[in-house]
Structure formats: C-alpha cells, structure tokens
Structure 1
Amino acid sequence: MHHGDGFQGKRRRLTTALALAVVVTTATAGCSLLRGPDEFPAPVRSTASTAPATPEADPSASAEARRVAESASPRTPTAVPTEAAAPDPTVSPIPVGSVLSEADVVTPKGSVRFHYRVVVGTDGTPTAQWTSFTSTLPVPVATTFLETPPAVGDGITWHGVGDTTLGGPGAAAAPAATALDPGRADPSWLGAIVIYSAATSASPDLPVEIGPGKVLAVQPVRWSVPARTTNVHPVDGGAQPNATGRSSSDGSTDGAPTAYRIASEDLIGSVAARFGLSVKDLVWLNPDVTVYGDQQYLYEDTVLNLDPYRR
C-alpha cells in the first residue's frame, strides 16, 4: 500500500504539472481559453520593413496652406524687443492758424465762383473755409480735394478729401468750414480742387455736362506749408530678402523714398530694415498697416507711406 500510494501521488503531481504547462503555454501564445476574442487588443504589426513608406508632405504646399490660413486673421504688427530703447518717432506740428492755401475758384464759363482758405485748426487739423459762393446752374454744386485730378466732363468716381456741397437749387446750407484730413497735419499731397455737379438724379431736361457727378472745373492747389522737422529719415538700402518691393520718391526734392509697394514674401521687419527704420517707425508712418503669420508678413501690393510729413 505504501508503494501504491506513492505511485498514485506521483501520477497526480505529474498530471497537475502538465495542466499548468498547457495553461502557461497557451497564455504565452496569445490565445486564452478563459477570455473572449474581443478582450485582448488586436496584434500590432510593425511597418518598419514590410509596409510602404508614407509619402512626405510637400513643405512648400504646407507653408502656403499655413500662410493662407494665417492671412485670414490679420493683426497689428508688433515691434521687436530690441527696439524698446529706440526713440519714439516724431514730427513737429504745423503752428495753429497757419494758412496753407488760399484762392478764388471759377468754372471755365464763370457759372460757379467761390473762395476757399485752408487753415490749421486748434487741434492741428487743416480746415477748408468756404466763402463768396455763387452759381447760375440749375443743380447743386459740390467741391472736393483730390490727389490726382480728373478732366472736366468726367464723372467723379471718388469724392476725395473735404467733400462739401456748397449750394445751388435744393441744396442744404453749406457749412462754413470742412475738416480736410483728420489725422494728417499736412494736406499738400492733394494736388487739385475739383468742382462737380451734385445733382442727385438725371432729368431729360438736364444737360449731360451738368448731370450727376459731372466734373465742372479742376484747379491746381498751391500749398504753402511751414518747414517741419522729424527724426524719421528713410533711406532705401536696396532690395534684400523679404523686402524686394519697389520704392518711389514721389517728386521729393531730396530724393528720399516716400512710398513702397509690398512684394510677395515681404516681412515688416525686413522692409523696415531696408529703409533704416524700426518697426515702430514703420507702424507710426502707417497706423493702419496689418500683418499675418508669426513672422509678420505684409500684404502684397499694399503701398506703405514713408514720408513722415504725410502720415
């Protein structure tokens, strides 16, 4: 009996060991008899050597897509930290009461006459004062200042600066004065004063030459602006990376650049550096300028002002 019990005990131990071995072997093979098929994550196959490589995205296409997305949200440019110590840009004001221009205006046939005088107001804004208006035309008459004058007989397409209805049939009383260009102290960029028909609608009985918006007369404006001083002196250093646009002097007597047309890929920092300016200077010259992207791209074909006397 003693030997029999020993033999049976060995069989039981051997059977138990075999069962444990089966369980261990099955578990390590990744297949369990105790769990359902969805209780283990699916095997992940390495693609290092068997799967084809995914084509790389075109860097230029990605950059362009980013730029388009960023340009949809323009923002105000910011000066770089190194500019903190740079002096603030300034230009001396025109003394209050200065008469910048004064003249009589007469249409070619003498139908319309008036006198104007441009004076600097107490807030520094040039103001046009209107006096002695007379007209024999059957339509209201208006006047405005324009940089580039149209021809007599043209239809006015932009109502310029200081647009004012002076009088005539059906017109309200004309104001005694009109602010020309709030925010700009020097209006000498305006080359002509234009007189045009302020008729609101055409009539079969109304001659075409005095119909709505028709230019009746154009007269050059002679400006007399006192000398001013500034600490902003742009000098064109020539095209450079991210500043490849075209500058112009616009008739400046000293040949200094007065305007710059932005080219593709221009950055505000690079454009400022091209003209020896800080970003702070360039934003001061162009208060409405906006940029996009982390590098502060400028909008192509926008024209920047570089003349501190015309800001």
Structure 2
Amino acid sequence: MRQGGHRSVHSIGIATLLAAILTGCTAPAVHPGPSEASNAAAPAPSATAEEDTVKKVPGLSDLPPGTLIAMGDFSGQGTTGKIQIKANGADHGFDVILTGLQPVPLAGASLELNSLPSTASEWDLQQGFSYYRYDPLSQVSDQTFSTPSVDYGGFETNDPRFMRTAVIWAAPPGAPIGLGSVIATATLTWDLPNMPAGPNVTDHGSAEGAQGQVSLGADDTPFSYLIAPNDTENAIAARFGITAEDLEWLNPDRFGDRLNLANITINLSMDSRGLRW
C-alpha cells in the first residue's frame, strides 16, 4: 500500500510516517544539606542520569494499540458513514476504520487527511496540505487499513491534529484513482493524550537572520511571519523565544530548508498549523 503527502496544485507529494519529537525539561538542582556540604564534591552525573531528566512527549507508539485518537462523520453528495483513527502501537502511523459508508465507495475512490476545514471548497482542498492514500478504497461499507505502509511515507511530526478533515475523492474521468471530485468530507475530532498545547511565542524584535514581517492575531500575539531574504531557521526561532524544533512543529509542511525561503509566510500559532498563507 502506498501513501502520499505534500501536494501542490500540480502534484501529490508523499507522506504519513509519524516521527517522534523529543522535548525535555531539566529537573531542578538539588542543593546539599549542612551535613553534605563538607563532603568531597559529588561525581558528575552520568549520561544515563542526564537522560533520565529528559521527558519524552508521548507519540503514537506510546499509546496502547486500539486507542481511539480521532473520529468524524461523513456527509456530502448523499454519502454517510463514520471514520475512526486508532493507534496501532507503531510510530509509523495508525489504523483507519471506515464504517457504514453508504453508498459504498465507487471504484477508484480514495481517502486523504487534509489540513483545511471541511467547509473549504473543492479547489482549495486540492491545494491544501494533506496526506493522501494512493491505494483506492475497497468497495464495501466497512473497512480497516493501516497508514502508512511500513516502508513508505513520512510525517514530520508526531502530532497530526492539524489534519482537520477526512476527504473521500472520486477519481477523475478516465483515471484509475486521483483527486477528481469530492464525494464526502468528515470533520476530524482529535483526542491525543498529553500532547502539547503549543510553544509560547513572543516577538523579541528584528535581529540578524530574522528581519521579516510579523502578523499579530486578535490577542496581539504573533500569528504568522513573512520570511525575509537571508533569514535563518535558528534566528527566526530565537526571535520568537522558541526552538527550531518548535518552529518545525508549528509548520509541519515546511521544515529545514523550506523554512528559509524568502517571501514565504510561516505559522506561529497552534491554531493555524498546517495552513498556508
């Protein structure tokens, strides 16, 4: 089974492996008591002890297999049914369960998870950042499959909550599969235990390597950032008091070199993850 990912107007990219992100907090220092102060200096903590102070943010592989992490109800063009997404014990993805699809999917119908809301137009959904399953759906009302396949695809984050909508597509005329027209959409409601609420973003002002334009949200907090020429990922992150990993988490469709492109607008808000401006 093949899986897909990043799409543009003319192509469907490849994705769907959930790579775990590690964040950590260091335990507070323990100060010696009076009886310990005269003792010889304690040996430096071992690497193992230091590692013990780092807490892993739970990823999908940390959840018991079968844990329900998202669900939604399909509607549109007379189609009804439900989608459930469950952890399957692997950090490569999850299980998708489709139940009660009526009418049953047409030959060549396909499923994607899209970052745009279900109210988006068909044209916008075709442009939205998404994870697309290249295998057609079975022509039955109830079906289960894992996504992605073991050796194919790659999510850039272990937190897929920015996938807002499940979309069932009909194949284009004459094609065996693809983004022809929308058969049905389902708004996904995610429930991922212990996932972070997002980094605290504060604009500390323009600096070398971070001289782009900031847009503020309704609460006057940074919402998005227009990258300027010669900006760098680390400098942008430092400007907003976050790490480069935080910046990539906020922009799961743009990471590494793609966060250094001049005149590209990137997200600084948890609520806008996966959206493009």
Structure 1 length-normalised TM: 0.49
Q: Secondary structure at the match of 1:167?
A: coil
Instruction: Report the equivalent of 2:68.
Output: 99
Question: CA, structure 1 residues 307+106, in 2 after alignment: closer, same or farther (shift >3 Å)?
Answer: closer
Instruction: Report the equivalent of 1:28.
Output: none
CA–CA separation in structure 2 for the residues paired with 1:212 and 1:261: 30
Q: Secondary structure at the match of 2:161?
A: coil
Shift of 1:201: 1.0
1:161 aligns with 2:126: no
Segments of 5+ residues of structure 1 without an aligned counterpart are 1-86, 203-210, 292-296
1:109 aligns with 2:78: yes
* Structure 1 residue corresponding to 2:170, chosen from 188, 191, 197: 197
When Rg is computed on C-alpha atoms for both structures, the one with the higher figure is: 1
Instruction: Report the equivalent of 2:110.
Output: 142
Deviations 1:186-213 (A, max 9, x none): 11111211121025617xxxxxxxx961
CA–CA separation in structure 2 for the residues paired with 1:147 and 1:105: 16
Question: CA, structure 1 residues 106+285, in 2 after alignment: closer, same or farther (shift >3 Å)?
Answer: closer
Instruction: Report the equivalent of 1:56.
Output: none
Paired-residue identity, %: 20
Kept in 2, the 8 Å contact 1:104–1:114? The answer is yes
Q: How does 1:97-246 map to 2 (within 5 A)?
A: 97=64, 98-110=67-79, 113-132=80-99, 133-135=101-103, 139-149=107-117, 150-151=120-121, 156-157=126-127, 160-163=130-133, 165-168=136-139, 176-179=145-148, 182-199=155-172, 201=174, 213-229=180-196, 233-246=200-213
CA–CA separation in structure 1 for the residues paired with 2:211 and 2:108: 48
Kept in 2, the 8 Å contact 1:243–1:274? The answer is yes
Segments of 5+ residues of structure 2 without an aligned counterpart are 1-50
Higher relative contact order (CA 8 A, sep 6+): 2
Shift of 1:220: 1.8
CA–CA separation in structure 1 for the residues paired with 2:230 and 2:123: 42
Question: CA, structure 1 residues 116+124, in 2 after alignment: closer, same or farther (shift >3 Å)?
Answer: same
Q: How does 1:211-290 map to 2 (within 5 A)?
A: 213-229=180-196, 233-247=200-214, 257=222, 260-277=225-242, 288-290=255-257
Kept in 1, the 8 Å contact 2:106–2:170? The answer is no
Deviations 1:27-70 (A, max 9, x none): xxxxxxxxxxxxxxxxxxxxxxxxxxxxxxxxxxxxxxxxxxxx
Deviations 1:114-156 (A, max 9, x none): 4321123323454241233453565432221111244258883
Kept in 2, the 8 Å contact 1:155–1:214? The answer is no
State the superposition RMSD in angstroms: 4.7
Instruction: Report the equivalent of 1:48.
Output: none
Q: Secondary structure at the match of 1:156?
A: helix
Shift of 1:300: 0.6
Q: How does 1:38-53 map to 2 (within 5 A)?
A: none
Instruction: Report the equivalent of 1:5.
Output: none
Kept in 2, the 8 Å contact 1:91–1:228? The answer is no
Kept in 2, the 8 Å contact 1:139–1:199? The answer is no
Deviations 1:243-274 (A, max 9, x none): 222346789xx986575331123244432331
Kept in 2, the 8 Å contact 1:154–1:215? The answer is no
Greater fraction of residues in helix? 1
